A and B are shown apart, each in its own frame.
Chain A
Amino acid sequence: MRAFLPIVTVLTAFVGIWYLSVAPMNIRVALDQVERSGAEVVPAGAVERRSVSVWRLMAQNPDHIAVGYDLDRPRLPTPAQVGQELWKTTGAMALKGRAWSKRSLIHHGWITLKSTLWGFLLGTTLGIACAIAIVYSRTAQMSLMPWAIISQTIPIVALAPMIIVVSAQIGIEGRGLPKAVISAYLCYFPVLVGMVKGLRSPELSQLDLLKTYDATGLQSFLKLRLPASMPFLFTSLKVGIAAALVGTIVGELPTGAISGLGARILIGDQFGNPLAIWSALFSAAILAGLLVTFLDLIQRLALRQMGAQA
């Protein structure tokens, strides 16, 4: 709670800067529109204005600056416009009982959420399995670990269109699986690294104690290593789910998908509808925030159950 006031201040500053930059960003579009409807603009003609800086345009046409704050297709929409568009495509549609219509962001968010969760599940399982192999086998550690690191320096997006085309040709219907593969690729690494650290976190004396109890390998894994790795696991799960969401959206962006938040961004771009792009971006941000918060809650509950001191 100590951070509450500073956060609000910084956010207010953000929004303030945003509002201020709307005027110079939109002045050209605004002047074009005003001129078409017959008003007097200095200098006249869009071509003449191209060589004039936005600041001079604003100084010479102070009456028309306000128009820039209420454009249909702004270069930079105002926060209020984005908020309105968000509400129009989520809450307002839900109230009318059309929450699942194709124009509603709830529908697209759900599609994105679904493949994010599949990718997250896949990536987490893979990450944990690899971590266990690495902790228990020297061979796995020596051969897997360098490649795991290298795999993260490869820009996966280069592969995204590839994965989608290949899976379409193999005969996998729909885009769910390829998107999940991309997000799994992005989220397995943080889980792998966190779990390796976590599984190795028990001290030697603790492992020795279990040996004196004549515990089998499986027992010492279940009763010592796994519980000890939980704090590490949850921390990396939070990084992982954010990465999985990025992966899904990247999977939806370049490939002509028609549903999902990434596809809304793409369609907004193709149809020249900036408000659709901005509202999809913000819903992706909200989704990311919700997912991380949700995992944070589970982490607190689980660790409290296990008797950790918060």
Chain B
Amino acid sequence: MSALVFALVFWLAAWGANVWLSNSRWSGTWAVRLTVPLLFGATLLVLWEGLVLGLGVSPVILPPPSMVVQTFATSTETLWIDFVQTVIKGALRGFVIGALAAVLCAILIDRSPFLTRGLLPIGNFFAALPIVGVAPIMVNWFGFDWQSKAAVVVVMVFFPILVNTVQGLRASDALQRDLMRTYAASYWQTLVKLRLPAAMPFVFNGLKIATTLALIGAIVAEYFGSPTRGMGFRISTGVGSLSIDLVWAEIAVAAMVGTSFYGLMAWIERKVTFWHPSHRT
């Protein structure tokens, strides 16, 4: 019971501290901007731990975070193998292929305004569809190994990136394009020097949406058949064999991978689109 009381006290204290910090005169500094969300996250973990221990929840249903951390530490080898199989082989390859294909397609389509008008609404529609459903079809076509996972990822990331890139290629305004024409720039020169850079904020928007989709695709595809490794495989078998702590460790890996993948994209975006008003300081 004391664990529960401690968790509740910690919650109230952290809440108070956050209210005080965010209304104090340091609230604009980066230290406070970092502390407040971190404290909030820590509170959630402490509450979880306290509730599980205090109410005596069976670890088969919900293991406390401390147990998940232990499992994480003892089974890093398994987690690493799964990480390589799902993220490096499946998600990342699919992401790269899908993104390249989408950008190339967008550049091709962009040459014809007629096709662009037709493809934008259709692409938008496809981007909203539950495309994960193609996972069993892809597993059937490409076999159990990473090729089928990459194929699902390609299909999932293709449309969001395509739609965003097509929109981005139209982002440069008429004045700028006229200027390129007065320079007697060719189509390719205009594309490389003006329109592609101008499209980058849109492209990265699509890429950032696609990071999460890539992981979802790679994990779901493993539910339909995979070699005896991979995050999706471990999660689905772990749930079946009640090794829930290992499942949570995999979820933690997935969360970290998802967040850092997204963070990486955001970082590259800042480097590439340093000229954009939203990044100027």
Partner among A146, A169, A265, A288 whose Cβ is within 8 Å of the Cβ of B37? A146
B141 within 8 A of A: yes
A14 to B60, CA, bound (A): 49
Q: Are A284 and B129 in contact (CB under 8 A)?
A: yes
Query: In the complex, are the beta carbons of A142 and B136 less than 8 A apart?
Result: no
B19 contacts which chain A residues (CB < 8 A)? 139
**Contact A10-B115, Cβ < 8 Å, known A169-B60, A249-B130, A265-B136:** yes
B203 beta carbon closer than 8 Å to chain A: no
Q: Number of B residues contacting the other chain (C-beta, 8 Å)?
A: 61
Tell whether B133 is near chain A: CB-to-CB under 8 Å. yes
Contacts of B136 in A (CB 8 A): 265-266, 268-269, 277
| Contact present for A288 and B129 (CB under 8 Å) | yes
Given contact pairs A138-B23, A246-B130, A268-B136, A162 touches B239 in the complex (Cβ within 8 A): yes
Pair A292/B128 contact, Cβ less than 8 Å: yes
Contacting A10 at CB < 8 Å: which of B122, B137, B139, B224? B122
A31 interfacial by beta-carbon distance below 8 Å: no
Q: Are A154 and B220 in contact (CB under 8 A)?
A: no
Is B118 a contact of A9 with CB atoms below 8 Å? Answer: yes
B118 close to A161 (CB less than 8 A): no
Interface centre among A14, A155, A157, A249, by most chain B C-beta atoms within 10 angstroms, is A155
Confirm or deny: A37 has a beta carbon within 8 angstroms of a beta carbon on chain B. Answer: no
- Would you give the 0/1 interface string for B32-61, flagging 1 where the beta carbon is closer than 8 Å to chain A? 110011011100000000000000000011
B132 within 8 A of A: yes
Check if A129 is an interface residue, CB within 8 A of chain B. no
What chain A residues lie within 8 Å of B18 (beta carbons)? 139, 142-143
CB distance from B181 to the nearest CB of A (A): 26
A233 within 8 A of B: no
* Nearest chain A CB to B64 CB, angstrom units: 14
Q: How many A-B residue pairs have CB under 8 A?
A: 166
Interface stretch among B73-81, B164-172, B248-256?
A: B248-256
Indicate if the CB atoms of A280 and B247 lie closer than 8 Å.
no
* Docked pose: A285 CA to B132 CA in angstroms: 12
Contact yes or no, B258 A155, CB < 8 A? yes
Q: From B43, which residue of chain A is reached at the shortest CB distance?
A: A143
Complex interface residues of chain A between 142 and 192 (CB less than 8 A to chain B): 142-147, 150, 152-159, 161-162, 165-166, 169-170
B122 touches A253 (CB 8 A): no
Interface string of B235-262 (1 = CB under 8 A from A): 1100100001001101100110011011
Do A142 and B37 touch across chains, with their CB atoms under 8 A apart?
A: yes
**What 0/1 pattern do residues 272 to 287 of A give for CB contact below 8 A with B?**
0010011011001100
Complexed CA–CA distance, A281 and B258 (Å): 27
Q: Scan B19-33; emit 1 where CB is below 8 A from any A CB, else 0.
A: 100110001000011
Q: Quick check: A158 and B61 within 8 Å, CB to CB?
A: no
Contacts of A278 in B (CB 8 A): 137
Whole-angstrom CA separation of A7 from B118 in the bound complex = 4
Closest to A238 in B: B128
B262 touches A153 (CB 8 A): yes
Q: Which chain A residues in 1-32 approach chain B with CB under 8 Å?
A: 2-3, 5-11, 14
On whether the beta carbons of B231 and A158 are closer than 8 Å, the reply is yes
Provided the pairs A7-B121, A139-B36 are in contact, do residues A285 and B259 lie with their beta carbons within 8 angstroms? Answer: no
Q: Is the CB of B132 within 8 A of A75?
A: no
Asked whether A161 lies within 8 Å of B258 as measured between CB atoms, the reply is no
Residues of A within 8 A of B101 (CB): none
Which residue from A146, A147, A157 sits with its C-beta under 8 Å from B220? Answer: A157
Q: With A3-B117, A169-B61, A284-B133 given, is the CB distance from A147 to B41 under 8 Å? A: yes
Residue of B nearest to A142 (CB): B36
Report A-chain residues with C-beta under 8 Å of the C-beta of B247.
Answer: 161-162
Docked pose: A265 CA to B19 CA in angstroms: 48
Q: Which of A14, A155, A245 contacts B212 (CB 8 A)?
A: A155
Residue pairs across A and B with Cβ atoms less than 8 A apart, 24 shown, are A6-B116, A6-B117, A6-B119, A10-B118, A138-B22, A139-B18, A141-B22, A143-B36, A150-B259, A153-B255, A157-B132, A157-B216, A158-B235, A159-B251, A166-B62, A249-B130, A250-B132, A253-B132, A253-B220, A253-B223, A254-B223, A265-B136, A284-B129, A288-B129
Instruction: With A262-B133, A274-B137 given, name 6 new contacts (CB 8 A).
Output: A9-B115, A11-B122, A142-B18, A147-B40, A246-B129, A249-B130
Q: What is the interface of chain B, defined by CB distance below 8 A to chain A?
A: 18-19, 22-23, 27, 32-33, 36-37, 39-41, 60-62, 114-122, 125, 128-130, 132-137, 139-141, 211-212, 215-216, 219-220, 223-224, 231-232, 235-236, 239, 244, 247-248, 250-251, 254-255, 258-259, 261-262
Return the 10 tightest CB-CB contacts between A and B, nearest first: A6-B118, A143-B40, A269-B136, A242-B128, A10-B118, A254-B223, A153-B258, A146-B37, A155-B215, A6-B117
